[in-house]
Chain A
Amino acid sequence: MSGQGGTMLDTNSDAGFMTADGRKIGGVAMEMRNITLRFGGVVAIKDISFDIRWGEIRAIIGPNGAGKSSMLNVISGFYHPQEGEVIYKGYKRPRMRPYQVAQQGIARTFQNIALFEGMSVLDNIMTGRLHHMKANMFQQAIWWGRAAREEAENRAQVEKIIDFLEIQHIRKTPVSRLPYGLKKRVELARALAAEPAILLLDEPMAGMNVEEKEDMCRFILDVNDEFGTTTVLIEHDMGVVMDLSDRVVVMDYGKKIGDGTPEEVRNNQEVINAYLGVAHD
């Protein structure tokens, strides 16, 4: 990995644990330490700490405006928190631009689909592989040697993902012509094409019908199963979250009010209050 800086920090690199369904969860991949994010006077995230382990599906839940998306934006380097630090692979991550974060193996999808509308499905997914393609401008200009070879190799990788997500039939369709549910799937494909170490999903099932949701759940689980991809997801559908995730962070008004397995979170009094709307004092 390029661009890693800072000093090695002591993270509790324990061996991890086994889940009930027999998957192995590894040590700490990323740790958020005392993150505080402000926009002018508004505090979006207040002193939050949690960790993400290799191979797990980690959910972030909370009512609207709780600061979930802001948290995801901090992880993907789009927002820079005023306080606190992000520890990734044991190193404190220096302040970096979003594209550098992406090059470190963090890919994401967006709450409001952010596909490149002027390009075909295939080209969109190929953008996910941009940092696997190293041919320089002159090689590309004459389309000889490395450039042509790389294109074919990466196309083969992308085709695997296209097969995996069952979108072969729309390969060459312009993205702007696709219905909402398929767009979401293409966005997932683009993120997967990067072969990320950590995959961030911002409300992958928002606005979908039951059938589409089931498909999407299956894909997320399969991705995790097959490639062992660490996944962080934000979701509103409680049933989905409880079924999918290994551990859950609950946020409300920018603060963390719960953290643990779905079972633990479900029985947490503060979480129940937040969701059932007990008056805040």
Chain B
Amino acid sequence: MLYREAGDYKTSYVADSQTFPIKFDRYGYYVLLGFAFLVMPLIINDYWANSIVVPFLIYAIAALGLNILIGYCGQLSLGTGGFMAVGAYASYKLMTAFPDLNIIFVIIIAGVVTAAVGVLFGLPSLRIKGFYLAVATLAAQFFLIWLFTRTAWFYNYSPTGMISAPTREIFGVPVTGPRASAVSMYMICLCFLVASAWLARNLTRGSIGRKWMAIRDMDIAAEIIGVNPLIAKLTAFAVSSFLVGISGALLFAVYLGAAEAGEAFGIDKSFLVLFMVIIGGLGSIFGAFAGAAFLIVGPVLLKLLLVNTLGWPTDLAAHLEIMIVGALILTFLIVEPHGIAALWRTIKEKLRLWPFPY
């Protein structure tokens, strides 16, 4: 009977529409935030940061962004990799052109640039729906990558065709470049993730979020009751690309340090983020976190088990991983099309009544 809502009365509409209406959830959330900000920086080491925690934080931002587009607004996109590349290259150009600009602004502006590109490629969504739109976003994916690998201006004419992040500091602590420590990488990604989640939550709970969901559920009816489809779809593309761009910028500047468009932001990245959104749960903020965690931690565990423990060859483990990811997607779609988030909701509903069956 730990988890319950009986007796937790609301006396105002504000209290009733808050993010965690149940007290137990609210406290759990504070504890988690406290742990992430106060305890994790003390215990994190290079291995954990590089193999699990930092990629999780970065991909969670991308999954949040894609979830707004697919899960909330119902516009299928396969161009995530391309948009992440826009964020990465924009941050690279900004860092090299304005060495004095604070890295936080660099990343935010990179997000804004990506939002603009996203809106551009989102324009066809006004006439095209469903699979047709997916193909249109593939055009974005392949064209952008081609542009970044073929136009030397984007990689500052470097002979390798790679972009590499120079060292930038916040309060004298390097967060990008080779001297950045695990803790500083962790902290900057965490701050961006928390801010992104807060932003996404606010946007999806109010009138804009309802416009998106109305378009998702029935676009014609939405237009007839007064939703301007142009604005609804383009704002979804803008917000989604903004977050995806930030995640691309972080992935390149903070995590990878050096990148090449085709290598780091190929179509497989688009699918990876898409899978995170599906497995986590379409139309759920929590789902973006769950999906990112699942697809980042899962392969690491699998590799630990197969390669390190059983001593299997790495290529075999990699193929098994592809197979298992595919099987998981199928299983989730069959068993619970709304992903981990829906499973979690079911568990909570059961918990509320526990120990009674109903």
Interface residues of A, Cβ cutoff 8 Å to B: 76-78, 97-99, 102-103, 107-108, 110, 114-119, 123, 126-128, 130-131, 133, 135, 137, 140-143, 147-148, 150-152, 155-156, 159, 190-191, 194
Contacts of A118 in B (CB 8 A): 213, 216-217, 283
Contact in complex: A127, B202 (CB < 8 Å): no
Contact in complex: A151, B206 (CB < 8 Å): yes
Contact in complex: A123, B210 (CB < 8 Å): yes
Among candidates A102, A135, A142, A156, residue contacting B224 with C-beta atoms closer than 8 Å: A102
Contact in complex: A114, B207 (CB < 8 Å): no
Contact in complex: A140, B223 (CB < 8 Å): no
| C-alpha gap A152/B11 in the complex (Å) | 12
Q: Which 4 A-B pairs have the closest CB atoms?
A: A102-B226, A114-B221, A116-B217, A143-B202
* Smallest beta-carbon distance A1→chain B, Å: 13
Contacts of A156 in B (CB 8 A): 13
Can you list 7 A-B pairs, Cβ within 8 angstroms, ordered by A?
A: A116-B214, A119-B213, A130-B210, A130-B226, A133-B206, A152-B13, A152-B14
Q: Which of A140, A148, A190, A194 has the most CB of B within 10 A?
A: A140
Contacts of B227 in A (CB 8 A): 99, 127, 130
CB-CB under 8 A for A137 and B223, given A123-B210, A151-B206: no
* B residues contacting the other copy or chain, number (CB 8 A): 32
Whether a CB of chain A sits under 8 angstroms from the CB of B80 is no
Contact in complex: A103, B235 (CB < 8 Å): no
| C-alpha gap A116/B220 in the complex (Å) | 11
Contact in complex: B226, A155 (CB < 8 Å): no
Interface residues of B, Cβ cutoff 8 Å to A: 12-14, 16-17, 199, 202-203, 205-208, 210-211, 213-214, 216-218, 220-229, 235, 239, 283
Q: Which residue of A lies closest to B215 (CB)?
A: A116
* Smallest beta-carbon distance B44→chain A, Å: 30
Contact in complex: A119, B207 (CB < 8 Å): no
Contacts of A115 in B (CB 8 A): 217-218, 221
Contact in complex: A140, B213 (CB < 8 Å): no
* Smallest beta-carbon distance B39→chain A, Å: 28
Contact in complex: B14, A99 (CB < 8 Å): no
Contacts of B239 in A (CB 8 A): 137
| C-alpha gap A156/B13 in the complex (Å) | 8
* Smallest beta-carbon distance B78→chain A, Å: 22
Contacts of B221 in A (CB 8 A): 110, 114-116
Contact in complex: B210, A126 (CB < 8 Å): yes
Contacts of B205 in A (CB 8 A): 143, 151
Contact in complex: B211, A99 (CB < 8 Å): no
Contacts of B202 in A (CB 8 A): 140-143, 147
* Smallest beta-carbon distance A171→chain B, Å: 10
Contacts of A107 in B (CB 8 A): 225
CB-CB under 8 A for A98 and B213, given A140-B207, A152-B12: no
Contact in complex: A140, B206 (CB < 8 Å): yes
| C-alpha gap A150/B202 in the complex (Å) | 13
| C-alpha gap A131/B225 in the complex (Å) | 10
* Smallest beta-carbon distance A209→chain B, Å: 25
* Smallest beta-carbon distance A79→chain B, Å: 11
Contact in complex: B203, A78 (CB < 8 Å): no
* Smallest beta-carbon distance A12→chain B, Å: 30
| C-alpha gap A119/B207 in the complex (Å) | 13
